[in-house]
Amino acid sequence: MSLTDILSPSDIAAALRDCQAPDSFSPKKFFQISGMSKKSSSQLKEIFRILDNDQSGFIEEDELKYFLQRFECGARVLTTSETKTFLAAADHDGDGKIGAEGIDYIKYR
């Protein structure tokens, strides 16, 4: 399964266009534009599984900086500031990594 099986390619493209400039990425806005905020918890868990590059069950800070590239190979890398902000928004238990529930959690923040 790929992200485009769950999300519209045009919505993904629009979300990536919205955050092309460094330090313009907002997790909540990206979720809204890409359509992720409208997905069910089970769909978000599937998206999480796809985004979890090393399949560890968590998205760690090193993986998170490549978040946009999981949607499109040529997309930019998140800046350190964006990565830390994203991690803070989705790491609801403060362990320094995002579990599947963190992706669902950011939908409501």
For residue 104, say whether it is annotated as part of any ligand binding site: no
For residue 63, say whether it is annotated as part of any ligand binding site: yes
For residue 93, say whether it is annotated as part of any ligand binding site: yes
E strands along 2-95, which residues?
A: 59-60
Encoding tokens for residue 17? 């266009």
For residue 56, say whether it is annotated as part of any ligand binding site: yes
For residue 11, say whether it is annotated as part of any ligand binding site: no
For residue 61, say whether it is annotated as part of any ligand binding site: no
69 phi, psi to nearest 5 deg: -70, -20
3-class secondary structure, 38:
helix
The C-alpha atoms of residue 63 and residue 61 are separated, in whole angstroms, by 5
Residue entry with tokens 């599937």: 46
Contact at 8 Å (CB) between 51 and 59?
A: yes
Show binding-site residues for Ca(2+): 52, 54, 56, 58, 63, 91, 93, 95, 97
What residue numbers does the annotated binding site cover?
Answer: 52, 54, 56, 58, 63, 91, 93, 95, 97
